[in-house]
Each structure stands twice: as structure tokens, then as C-alpha cells.
Amino acid sequence: MADVVVSKEELTNLVKGKLMSVGVPKEGAETVADVLVHANLRNVNSHGVLRTEHYTKRISEGGININPNITINNTGPSSAIADGDDGLGHIVAKKAMEHAIELAKRNGIGMISVINSSHCGALSYFVNQAANENMIGLAMTHTDSFVVPFGGKKPFFGTNPIAFGFPAKKNKPVILDMATSNAAMGKILHAKEIGKSIPDNWGVDENGIPTTDPNNVNALLPFGGPKGYGLGMVVDVFSGLLTGAAFGPHISLMYGDLHKKRKLGHFIGAINPEFFTDIEEFLVNMDRMIDEIHQVEPANGFDKVLVPGEPETLKEEIRLKEGIPVTESIYNYLVSSSQSVAKE
């Protein structure tokens, strides 16, 4: 299927328009569009604008509150609970990270448990908020059950992503954003959309047997076997049990029961290096680490050793100049009845 290449500005306006067409206020639509286009810029298309149609469907069915009263209540000098009031998770998570940064500026650390939220998109966006303030950012969220536990045939935890962002002085922030499965569910959806097969270590069919057909995927595999499984459980403890939300198979489905509020939990944090070491020295040493990693002799088949998130950062630089490729069917959906609304 062909791609349509569009600028960041055009794609942002199309997504914003589509969201506004189902009643999302302009400011909120801008935030969601910014998070989604951020993912496409970094070539994480699975968490990009292809999700727009799902969000509009869930909104239309009543599963997302488009006018939430998002509240954040401090529970201590460095802790707070953010209640998303069933709003769009992108807006909720962004506000939570903003508050975490403010707490960290005053007290060194800001840790926010988020309740009553929904799918929030690529976590790299939120940890980058902290890194841009010369802070270490962390973010994690649970998702509905779709990953088999190590040694099991049927799913229990979700893809349960976790992300960290580390600032540097002259280099771009180091951003580690990863699912605890071998692949994010969005990548399966993207493979379906473009009609391509998937690696045989991404998912299993209904019998627990690995498959290369994205249409036959009944569950995903954890990365690194027991390691990914264990880390997935950790994410669910932070995002589910610590927030008082559901866990594992008790989490409501993303692509089912669209009329129901999902009540998802996230865990968002910011750490201020100034409270632990000399900030200038920390930033310079981050640069030194990055530069020394770049100097490691590459293995056969590689041109250069990169730091986590660097391939996505390099892709973002290219796409800002050359435009963002979007699958034609997704572009056609976005362009329908969106352009006039986005200009409002």
C-alpha cells in the first residue's frame, strides 16, 4: 500500500481536526495530535496517527470523556495522585509530567500515580518533557492482557511499556522507550495495515505457537523470556496495584467495549540531578558517555554504535526536513472532513 508524505504541520492539523470533529476541545486536540505526530516523526508508527480512528470511535461510543476535570492532589513533598477523569491519556500524562517536574524542581523528585486515564501513546514524549528541563524522566503504563507469561500459552500481562529520558549538555537526550513484549501491539496493527508478515518471535497463535502472520496473533511474547516477563509484572505493580487500578487480565480491552471507560493507571516521575550531584558535571558526563559509546568499534553489519533512542532521533531529523510517510488509507481517513475543522 502506497504512502503519502506530509509535513509535520499538515499531519498535526489533520489529526487535530479529526479529534475536534468528535468534540475534543482545541487545546486537548492539539496535545493529542502533538503526541501522535511525535511518534510518527520518530518512526514509531505503531503509536502514531494510525491510532486516531480508534480514539474517535471510542469517544463517539462514550468510552472517553472529552471534557475531563483533571485534578492533581499532592500527597507529600514529592508525591501526588493525578485523576484523569477518564479523559484522553495523552493530556493526562502530559499534565502529570508537568507536575512531576515542578515537584522535582522544589524537592528533587516528583512521582505521580495516575488514575482514571486511557491510552496515552508513546511514553517517549513524556520522558522527553523532563529531559528538556535537564531532569531524568520516567514513565510506565499497563495495558490490557496480551502477552504470555514466560512458560505460558495464554496472555496475562499487557505489553506494559516503560521509558526513561536522560538529558545531556550538547547531545540530544538519551531516550529509552520499550515495551516489555518483543514488539508493541501497535507494530502488529501496523503490519496488518501494510500487509506484511512479522518476525516469528513477536507473537503466538491461539495454540501458543509462534506465527509470522499478524492476522493470526492471539498473544505476544515477552522480550528476553523471563526478563521481559518479570519487568512487565513490575510495570503492572507500579501502574496498577500502586494506583489502585486493575492489573493483568482484569484491565478493560482497548479494542473492545468501546463504550466503557478504561480506568487505566500510569506512573510518571521526574528526578532533578541537582539534588544528587553537580548538574553541570552530570550533563558533561552524559555527553562523555554518549561520545565514548559512539567510539566503540561497530560489529559486522553496523556502521556505528548508537545510544538508546538515537535511531528514532536521527529519523526525526530527517522527517522534519523531508516529511512524514503515512499509509494512504490512514491519510484518506484523516483528510476526510478534517481540514476545515482544524483551522478553527
> Any idea which residues carry the catalytic annotation?
119
The CA distance from 265 to 118, in Å, is 8
> Exposed, middle or buried by CB within 10 Å (0-12, 13-18, 19+), for 305?
middle
β partners of residue 101: none
Residue 174 is which amino acid? Answer: V
Per-residue cell: 11: 499531519
C-alpha cell belonging to residue 174: 538519551
What are the beta bridge partners of residue 82? Answer: 72, 114
Question: Cβ(69)–Cβ(84) under 8 Å?
Answer: no
Helix, strand, coil shares, percent, the chain, to 5: 45, 20, 40
- Select from 124, 113, 43, 51 the least CA-distant residue to 88: 51
The CA-based angle 59-5-53, given to 5 degrees, is: 10
Q: Which residues contact 308 (CB under 8 A, 6 or more apart)?
A: 174, 175, 176
Determine the Cα–Cα distance for residues 88 and 23; give it in Å rounded to an integer: 12
Diameter of the chain measured on Cα atoms: 54
Spatial contact of 315 and 306, defined as CB atoms under 8 Å apart:
no
Rg (CA), the chain: 20
Beta bridge partners of 76: 79
